[in-house]
């Protein structure tokens, strides 16, 4: 009998309930999209920040270049061994660098010895004209910065002589880098070439690492590396890691605030609909009470009706919200947000709570007196 009455109530008030369920579906769609974004935002934001380059630095205690040579250097094998020992799934790239100040055509330039093949992983935002990795026919190939290429009128395939102290090596330009920073004034060669030119075999100036993860995870990894390399300094690049953590916190606060605001507005919409519905059902309630129906039973019937509306609205809205979150991810991050199916029960539960919160006027039906209702009619 209870379920038959519930079905008749749902069918008999289709016009007014349509407004409530439309509000609930809209709310559920936005809430599920925002929740899905919240669960995936850390991974997406981390991926975006990796385009900014390295976020972890390993350097000597007093790393600097004085005159034409580095004041202190590190053992490349020691650093590489520590990185391999302290493994982390978030490690994207670990690139060593050896910097010396040499000259090209009597023009002073910074020569950076590094692993050219790993540079695109460390600096994916750099633009390249030519090739990152010199071909086998270009064993002495390297990369030059945009400003160096313009100043010396170099193009891909051009040759130049790099001079450091009394040593000279010939280099063929495999590519021209446009980094938008100090790198545009540098010449990049393979690490062994720079070590041979500088007379520092097996030595590097520092190493830059790109590590995915939260600020806390990156700091934890840095601490583990510091324990494995007590002679060197291992520290996160604060400008990047702190900005990432701060932006993530702000976005999450914005998402939570929007969910709360949307839920409150939906509850108010349901409240107005249910207040009008309560006035329409005063006669039905009076008849139920005259036939012996208890107040608790009557209120439970109407609350069950609202709960069904919330569950249906939450389910439909959750499906639409997943599609909305995919679209949002495509527009903001260039790739769809991964669907999280735990959003379904969470959204449905939230919509049931919102619907019940907006159905408070129906509790007033318990105070209806049958004698007064029948006297009015």
The contacts of residue 205 (CB under 8 Å, 6+ apart) are 59, 60, 63, 65, 70, 73, 74, 97, 98, 99
- Residue whose structure tokens are 């978030």: 90
Q: Full-prediction pTM beyond 0.75?
A: no
Beta strands in 185-248 (DSSP E): 186-190, 203-204, 206-211, 233-236
Lookup: tokens for 146: 């945009």
Mean pLDDT by 10 residues, the chain (377 residues): 51 62 86 81 63 80 51 86 87 90 87 90 86 64 90 88 86 89 90 89 90 78 90 78 67 84 84 68 58 59 75 87 80 69 85 79 56 48
Backbone φ and ψ for 23, nearest 5 degrees, come out as -65, -40
Distances (CA, A) of 268 to 20, 174, 330, 352: 10, 65, 32, 14
Count of CB atoms situated within 10 Å of the CB of 332: 13
Q: Contact, 218 vs 207, CB < 8 A?
A: no
Count of CB atoms situated within 10 Å of the CB of 123: 22
Whole-number Å distance between alpha carbons of 103 and 206: 22
In the chain, the N- to C-terminal Cα span, in Å, equals 27
Going from N- to C-terminal start, the domains of the chain cover: 2-48+245-376, 55-236
Count of CB atoms situated within 10 Å of the CB of 257: 10
Count of CB atoms situated within 10 Å of the CB of 224: 16
* pLDDT for residue 186: 92
Lookup: tokens for 268: 């108010």
* pLDDT for residue 331: 74
Whole-number Å distance between alpha carbons of 244 and 336: 21
Exposed/middle/buried for residue 128 (C-beta within 10 Å: 0-12, 13-18, 19+): middle
Whole-number Å distance between alpha carbons of 24 and 30: 10
- Residue whose structure tokens are 């679209």: 327
Backbone φ and ψ for 176, nearest 5 degrees, come out as -120, 125
* pLDDT for residue 216: 76
* pLDDT for residue 164: 87
Provide the 8-state DSSP code for 213. Answer: S
Provide the 8-state DSSP code for 114. Answer: E
Provide the 8-state DSSP code for 292. Answer: T
* pLDDT for residue 239: 59
């Amino acid at each position: 009998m209870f379920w038959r009455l519930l079905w008749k109530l749902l069918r008999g008030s289709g016009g007014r309930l349509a407004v409530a369920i439309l509000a609930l579906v809209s709310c559920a769609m936005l809430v599920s999209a925002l929740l899905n974004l919240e669960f995936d935002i850390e991974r997406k934001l981390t991926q975006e920040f990796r385009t900014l380059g390295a976020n972890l630095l390993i350097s000597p205690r007093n790393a600097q270049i004085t005159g034409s040579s580095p004041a202190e250097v590190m053992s490349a094998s020691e650093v590489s061994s520590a990185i391999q020992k302290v493994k982390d799934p978030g490690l994207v790239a670990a690139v060593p660098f050896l910097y010396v100040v040499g000259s090209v055509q009597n023009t002073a330039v910074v020569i950076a010895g590094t692993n050219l093949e790993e540079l695109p992983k460390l600096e994916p935002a750099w633009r390249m004209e030519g090739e990152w990795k010199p071909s086998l026919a270009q064993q002495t190939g390297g990369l030059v910065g945009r400003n160096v290429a313009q100043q010396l009128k170099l193009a891909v395939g051009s040759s130049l002589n790099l001079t450091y102290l009394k040593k000279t090596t010939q280099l063929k330009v495999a590519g021209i880098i446009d980094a938008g920073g100090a790198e545009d004034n540098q010449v990049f060669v393979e690490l062994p070439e720079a070590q041979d030119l500088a007379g520092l075999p097996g030595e590097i100036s520092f190493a830059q690492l790109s590590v995915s993860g939260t600020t806390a995870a990156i700091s934890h990894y840095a601490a583990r590396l510091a324990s494995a390399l007590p002679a060197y300094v291992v520290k996160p690049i604060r400008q990047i890691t702190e900005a990432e953590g701060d932006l993530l916190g702000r976005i999450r606060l914005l998402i939570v605030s929007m969910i709360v605001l949307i839920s409150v507005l939906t509850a108010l919409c349901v409240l107005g609909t249910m207040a009008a519905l309560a006035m329409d059902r005063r006669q039905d309630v009076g008849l139920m009470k005259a036939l012996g129906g208890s107040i608790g039973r009557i209120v439970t019937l109407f609350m069950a009706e609202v709960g069904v509306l919330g569950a249906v609205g939450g389910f439909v809205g959750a499906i639409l919200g997943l599609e909305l979150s995919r679209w949002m991810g495509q527009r903001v991050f260039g790739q769809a947000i991964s669907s999280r199916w735990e959003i379904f029960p969470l959204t449905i539960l939230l919509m049931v709570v919102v619907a019940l919160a907006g159905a408070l006027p129906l509790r007033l039906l318990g105070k209806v007196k049958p004698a007064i209702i029948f006297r009015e009619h």
